[in-house]
Amino acid sequence: MPLLDSVPIAALPLERFEPVIGGEAFHRLLERFARGRDLLGGHAMWHVNSTSRGGGVAEMLVSLLAYGRGAGIDERWEVIEGNEAFFAVTKRIHNNLHGAAGDGLPLDDEAREVYESVTLAAGEELAERIVPGDIVLLHDPQTVGMIPVLKRLGVPVVWRCHVGIDTPSAHTRAAWAFLRGYVLQADAYIFSRRQYVWEDLDPDRTVLIAPAIDVFSPKNQVLSDGQVDGILSAAGLQEGSRTFAVEPSFLRMDTSPGRVERRAEADEGRRLRPDDVVVLQISRWDRLKDPIGVIDGFVRHILPRSEAHLLYAGPSVDAISDDPEGKEVLEEAKARFAALPGEVQERLHLVTLPMVDVEENAAIVNALQRRAQVVVQKSIAEGFGLTVAEAMWKERPVVASRIGGIQDQIEDGRSGKLVGAQDLAAYGRAVVDLLTDPALAAEMGARARFRVRDAFLGTRSLLQYIALFERLVL
């Protein structure tokens, strides 16, 4: 059974960035790409991660690789398939890296055996397809164990760590100890922020690249209010017309009867009405995203002081193979919902979004983010938090936890609001303040968009990647 599955990559034109970044910056971008392409000399750039959809890493790879390919670089994307035992260990590593105990089991010899049984074989599988001159970029803990095998080929191997924590715990250090031996063999390691760099790595091989969003992807591109309402009613999330007109090239959402009625089986709560005020969190079903805290904070501190509805949307749990905890966490959220009185349930909406069609999913996420009056991201740990930048680009006021990469995005009180990750009352207060002061909400939203334009566009991270590869190849 092959362990790697190839993901198709589209080719997108860099030209679309010209109006956003301006002619001069755009020409510099083209020049740098041309140089990078010449240096690669037709060789491939291989990326490996653990899922092609659902979650920030997949989200970024879709765009990053498509622009690379559009610029003539031979980008390849492989997903490590693994098995249940492997993903139980990698989820433990993921939770440990975030400072949490996870399933409470240790990263011992037995865990290493399970881990390496997949990573070494996946490394061998990839090694057969690589030729001298290619470059490999591995993403996140699931792929680290491939490094020793790939380094034997003599090609540059870079590891990108998308997770991190402000203050490492004993669990974090245990995960570092488990992975460090592999990581040290890479030619470079990329972290999202300075605070995330592990102890005892080689500073000369350490590179910082903050994540970015693709403002032209179906998830972020402009939608009219009519399209927002149409998409949400077609997805069964909002009452109203079930048909709407969208350009076929933009969104392949099938509006035929039957399909438009589809609403994921796990949904709790009634449909939104067009004039409902919406507070939104979109996140995977992961305890580090704190769905229970989001619900409890809303019920205690927002619901009694406003007319707002809370909509918590996450991916359909069957779709995400590398996240074994998703089902359990969704069940916890549903149980919390079920225990609430009927009139409270009226104002809560737990939604699982269909993931079969990536563009359709993206369109729904886009519409939800634009539909919301306030977006929240009340995570307990967050490497970066793409959902924050996505909402900011759409001029939403965001209330988010003062943790991880969220702090790099939101300038507190200016382009959004930061609150203590465990402080439900502060989260509630910040949301109610924005709901009751639409002028403040609009100002914050406008500044949020500028913040993303200035610091978190894909072009910035593309240039940083090119600079790194030039360094490795020259």
Residues forming the site for ligand UDP (CB under 6 A): 55-56, 59, 219, 282, 284, 313-315, 353, 361, 365, 384-387, 390
Position closest to ligand UDP via CB:
56
- Given the complex with ligand UDP, which of 102 and 314 has the nearer CB atom? 314
- Given the complex with ligand UDP, which of 233 and 387 has the nearer CB atom? 387
- Given the complex with ligand UDP, which of 36 and 314 has the nearer CB atom? 314
CB under 8 Å to 352, separation ≥6 — which residues? 264, 265, 266, 267, 313, 314, 315, 316, 317, 330
CB of 213 to ligand UDP, least distance (A): 8
Q: Which among 235, 253, 244 has a CA at the least distance from the CA of 316? A: 235
- Given the complex with ligand UDP, which of 26 and 393 has the nearer CB atom? 393
Q: Angle, nearest 10°, between helix axes 84-97 and 109-127? A: 110
- Given the complex with ligand UDP, which of 75 and 214 has the nearer CB atom? 214
CB of 30 to ligand UDP, least distance (A): 27
CB of 45 to ligand UDP, least distance (A): 22
Q: What gap in Å lies between CA 277 and CA 234, rounded to an integer?
A: 19
Q: Which among 401, 417, 352, 406 has a CA at the least distance from the CA of 383? A: 406
CB of 237 to ligand UDP, least distance (A): 12
- Given the complex with ligand UDP, which of 68 and 315 has the nearer CB atom? 315
Q: What gap in Å lies between CA 183 and CA 150, rounded to an integer?
A: 12
CB under 8 Å to 458, separation ≥6 — which residues? 17, 63, 64, 67, 212, 213, 214, 215
CB of 219 to ligand UDP, least distance (A): 6
Q: Which among 397, 394, 416, 393 has a CA at the least distance from the CA of 406? A: 416
Q: What gap in Å lies between CA 99 and CA 31, rounded to an integer?
A: 42
CB of 461 to ligand UDP, least distance (A): 14
CB of 401 closer than 8 Å to CB of 378: yes
CB of 389 to ligand UDP, least distance (A): 8
Ramachandran angles phi, psi of 397, nearest 5°: -75, 130
Q: Which among 180, 175, 107 has a CA at the least distance from the CA of 145? A: 180
- Given the complex with ligand UDP, which of 427 and 469 has the nearer CB atom? 427
- Given the complex with ligand UDP, which of 26 and 312 has the nearer CB atom? 312
CB of 312 to ligand UDP, least distance (A): 10
Instruction: Output the CA torsion 212→68→134→117 (10° steps).
Output: 50
- Given the complex with ligand UDP, which of 59 and 268 has the nearer CB atom? 59
CB of 61 to ligand UDP, least distance (A): 11
SS3 301: helix
Angle at 282 between CA 278 and CA 287, to 5 degrees: 120
CB of 91 closer than 8 Å to CB of 98: no
